[in-house]
Amino acid sequence: MAVKKNTRKIEAGIETDFGDKMSYSSYLALDDLLSAQHPVSRPVHHDEMLFIIQHQTSELWLKLVLHEMRAVRKALMVDDLRTAMKGIARIKHIQRSLTEQWSVLATLTPSEYAQFRGDLGSASGFQSAQYRAVEFLLGNKNAGMLKVFSSDPAAHAVLEELLGQSSVYDEFIRLLDRRGFQVPTQLLNRDFSKAHVFNDELVQLYRVIYENPSEHWDLYEACEELVDLEDNFQLWRFRHMKTVLRTIGMKTGTGGSSGVDFLQRALALTFFPELYAVRTEIGAVTP
């Protein structure tokens, strides 16, 4: 019986000479990307590479989330709800990847992390400018966060700009107003540098949409997409908190926060409170 070779020939048309052509590596700047991991532990601890790549990967995904979220906000501003929802659909898939990768970091045991944690100094994920930018775009504004980036002019400028801009939720509410819904005036003409505050009138507006889905199908679907977005964000926060608890217990964070306690309190923050509150109203029996 003839023995089959476990190889395949390179097809004649496949490019092999990249002396003067763009290659996969040059297009993706892999020389820069793959040489951007610089462990600080001495001697270098094996597991620090995992720690660095985990966080660098998260930042790359956050960069894409911001890219898509800015486009979503822009689409909502011109009443292009379809494009906005397409963007949110993509963001939801990115969020899934961000959440699932916590399981990789969770393989870092407390004893392994303890061997290089002290070398991290005051560096902490709390200082992620892109994470704060995502929160600002979703409406969780906090001017006090800007001082964390006072030594990084570029990051500070981006966050300062986003702080004063309307959020994705603000623009969705404005779209509802242009659709003829009676949106409270204080929601349309507010200080965007402040976090959104719960409004019961908005709950009643959403109730109309939810109780009449066939009349407002695209808005009904958009409301659920926004809820998905927040659910995914909260799941990411939860997995973050549980991974930190698993790795360092109740220790203080490297950046000076209370660690797990700080992350637990973040779970109480919400972007679209009225979209959750309306669920209590649907089907409720009037006394």
Tokens read off for 48: 């620090």
Q: What is the DSSP letter of 46?
A: T
110-127 burial code (b ≥16 CB/10 A, e <16)? eebbeebbeeeeeeebbb
Is 282 flagged in the annotation as binding?
no
Is 127 flagged in the annotation as binding?
no
Is 51 flagged in the annotation as binding?
yes
Is 252 flagged in the annotation as binding?
no
Is 262 flagged in the annotation as binding?
no
Is 240 flagged in the annotation as binding?
yes
Is 107 flagged in the annotation as binding?
no
> Rounded CA gap, 60 and 48, in Å?
18
Residue holding tokens 């966050």?
A: 159
Could you tell me if 145 and 132 are in contact, meaning their C-beta atoms sit under 8 angstroms apart? yes
How many residues are listed for the chain in this entry? 287
> Which H or E element spans position 59?
helix 48-77
Tokens read off for 97: 């990847």
Compute, in degrees rounded to 10, the torsion defined by CA atoms 36, 42, 43, 48: -50
213: preceding bond cis by omega (within 30 degrees): no
Cβ count near 44 (within 10 Å): 13
Compute, in degrees rounded to 10, the torsion defined by CA atoms 22, 23, 29, 32: -120
CA angle 171, 172, 175 (to 5 degrees): 85
Q: Using alpha carbons, list the distances in angstroms from residue 257 to 49, 158, 204, 241.
A: 24, 23, 38, 13
Is 116 flagged in the annotation as binding?
no
> Rounded CA gap, 138 and 94, in Å?
16
Is 55 flagged in the annotation as binding?
yes
Q: Binding site for substrate, residues?
A: 51-55, 113, 117, 254
**Residues in the annotated binding site:** 51-55, 113, 117, 240, 254
- Cite the annotated binding site for heme by residue number: 240
